[in-house]
């Protein structure tokens, strides 16, 4: 050891293999999807029905549902981040099922942030219009179907080269 520098380069801990890291990343990805996207899907789905039967008693419920959608939409950013880290760890970033899943995820995020959340906010501040609840119901259905397609692609992984 010359000048306080070890003669050999320290080796990585063999007890922490890349497959262990992949398992942790995949677990975080799935947990983030369940805990972040699930509440948004449920709250956004409940909003139109609650809006249709709007009374002074249901107004607080609408505000709560909208707040759930807003907060969990921000937390939902973790899902693709953990997903990309997992895909990178698995070496599947260029596989078609993943590329399609990423495009669908971007579409779902756009539907939520550009269509659902603004319409929910407008419904809370403006006069109730029957078309608003119907439009929100349709958009929420598309949002949820988009996420369902992502889940199916993540499970089936058509054309995968990883043997799954």
Low-confidence residues in the chain, pLDDT < 70: 1-17, 161-164
pLDDT given for residue 2 in this prediction: 58
Identify whether the C-beta of residue 139 lies closer than 8 Å to the C-beta of residue 115: yes
> Model-level pTM greater than 0.85?
no
pLDDT given for residue 145 in this prediction: 98
Q: Comparing C-alpha atoms, which of 57, 71, 83 is closest to residue 147?
A: 83
Q: Enumerate residues 6+ apart whose C-beta is below 8 A from 106.
A: none
Q: Enumerate residues 6+ apart whose C-beta is below 8 A from 49.
A: 133, 137
pLDDT given for residue 9 in this prediction: 56
Alpha helices for 53-129 (secondary structure H): 59-75, 78-90, 96-111, 117-125
Inter-axis angle of helices 59-75 and 38-52, nearest 10? 160
pLDDT given for residue 4 in this prediction: 62
pLDDT given for residue 88 in this prediction: 93
The domain ranges of the chain are 18-156
pLDDT given for residue 6 in this prediction: 60
pLDDT given for residue 161 in this prediction: 66
pLDDT given for residue 56 in this prediction: 86
């Amino acid at each position: 050891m010359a000048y306080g520098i070890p003669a050999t380069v320290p080796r990585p801990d063999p007890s922490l293999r890349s497959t262990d890291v992949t398992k942790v990343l995949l677990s975080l990805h799935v947990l983030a999807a369940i805990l972040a996207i699930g509440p948004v899907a449920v709250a956004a789905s409940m909003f139109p029905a609650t809006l249709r039967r709007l009374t002074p008693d249901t107004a607080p419920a609408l505000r709560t549902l909208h707040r759930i959608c807003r907060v969990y939409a921000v937390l939902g950013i973790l899902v693709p981040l953990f997903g990309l880290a997992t895909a990178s760890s698995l070496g599947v970033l260029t596989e078609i099922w993943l590329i399609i899943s990423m495009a669908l995820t971007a579409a779902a995020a756009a539907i939520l942030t550009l269509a659902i959340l603004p319409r929910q906010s407008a419904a809370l501040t403006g006069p109730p219009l029957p078309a608003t609840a119907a439009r929100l119901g349709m958009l929420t259905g598309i949002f949820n179907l988009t996420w369902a397609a992502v889940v199916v692609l993540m499970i089936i992984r058509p054309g995968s080269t990883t043997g799954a």
